[in-house]
Homo-oligomer: A and B are copies of this chain.
Amino acid sequence: MRILILGGDGFCGWPTSLHLSACGHEVGIVDNFARRNADVELEAQSLTPISPLGVRLETWRRLTGREIGFWRIDVAGAYHELLALLSEYRPDAVVHFAEQRAAPYSMKSAAHKRYTVDNNVNATHNLLCALVQGGLDCHVVHLGTMGVYGYGAAGAAPLPEGYLTVRMDGADGSEVEQEILYPASPGSVYHMTKTLDQLLFAFYNRNDEIRVTDLHQGIVWGTQTRETHQHERLINRFDYDGDYGTVLNRFLMQAAIGHPLTVHGTGGQTRAFIHIQDSVRAIQLAIEHPPQHGERVRIFNQMTETHRVIDLAHIVKKLTGADIDLVDNPRNEAPANDLAADNHQLLDLGLQPITLEDDLLTEITDIAQRYKDRCDPDKIPCTSRWITATRATAQSPAASIAAPA
């Protein structure tokens, strides 16, 4: 198949591009280097030494003989360039990663909130508009997030894959049943943009029959895939900073440099996880099993296991001897939650999950230990606050809003 990867230089986009290329698909990358530019802005960088995209692509070509094309286009800003490329390339599938993807980054300031909404909504909408305007029959595979669901109604069944069957009172007193998009309950501006995306997809699917698979992904852990592992110049990003680092990566790096594991609040939050290798495989499965024409938006929960944050900390502590430090939670969220979710659709397509147990030690030794000298400990604290200092103080005079030391 011919596949375009929007955001193909990022943490999920790069290993996905290589994996699909290795599978024999014709792959092209579109990226505006927004993620590398955020490194410059935040004065943070990947723990792993990532190569420039040109070097990455040339290394892959020499190793495998496979060419991956590249177009530097801002999907949210340069509509006509995007339309021209889509019309020329005529992809069978577009994988859409071209969104700002960090919750703390999206909450840093008004400017970051506005950038996240403007970029993410316009990127998704430009893609959908361009497919309609170009008259292209192309499957859109989008990275959503488990965070669109919130954590469900108290006592409700495990989170379904996108759609929920509900019953309501009918006009004549009888009961009416309907299947609806799961009610949105996003926990940050970033997560909110993915709930906006869902409504964009639903509309263009219904009005223009655009075929869409929306992958509600859990927190990705792990760094390398079979392909990125083949040469150091292909290595994937590993973010540990307070904005872009996800919880497990941050624990691993903290352990490697002897920093206590910073658990927000009580660590009672339960989250869904998936290994990056499973993530790229799931995207391949979604692409190779597209929805039918006229089928509604297909939604998969792209996650393989759930863990409480404090339990993860204890697993890492056990493997590394690190201390655990409970710090104020910068997020505006429940101190603890349960989480169970259905994920049978990807398992039915053949996904065989890599569990934390299988691969955590590799991450510790091959990534965190190996590159620990590149770490800047000043970048560890999460400095974004979900609610402003004024209001946090007004709510609870005793609440400390200082960053963890």
What residues make up the interface of A, taking CB atoms closer than 8 Å to B? 79, 83, 109-110, 113-114, 117-118, 121-122, 125-126, 129-130, 132-133, 135, 153-158, 164-172, 174, 176, 178, 180-181, 183-184, 186, 189, 192, 195-196, 199-200, 202-203, 207-209, 332, 340, 386-388, 390-391
Contacts and interface: CB of A to CB of B under 8 A. Distances in A.
Given A121-B117, A168-B166, A203 B176 contact: no
A196 to B, nearest CB: 5
From A130, A186, A196, residue with most partner B Cβ within 10 Å: A196
25 contacts: A83-B110, A110-B130, A114-B122, A114-B129, A117-B121, A117-B200, A118-B122, A132-B388, A155-B172, A156-B168, A156-B176, A157-B168, A157-B170, A158-B171, A166-B166, A166-B167, A167-B167, A171-B340, A181-B183, A183-B183, A192-B203, A196-B200, A207-B387, A208-B387, A209-B391
Contacts of A170: 155-157
Nearest to A180: B183
A343 B178 CA distance: 23
Contact of A196 (B121, B132, B391): B121
A186 to B, nearest CB: 6
A104 to B, nearest CB: 14
Contacts of A129: 110, 113-114
Contacts of A209: 391
A168 B178 contact: no
Contacts of A340: 171
Contact of A192 (B156, B157, B184, B199): B199
A82 B165 CA distance: 42
Contacts of A156: 168-171, 176, 178
Given A117-B125, A125-B117, A176-B153, A388 B167 contact: no
A305 to B, nearest CB: 18
A199 to B, nearest CB: 5
Contacts of A186: 199, 203
Nearest to A114: B129
A334 B144 CA distance: 30
A186 B198 CA distance: 13
Contacts of A154: 176
A396 to B, nearest CB: 13
A211 to B, nearest CB: 13
Given A114-B125, A117-B200, A166-B167, 5 more contacts: A110-B133, A117-B122, A117-B125, A153-B176, A155-B172
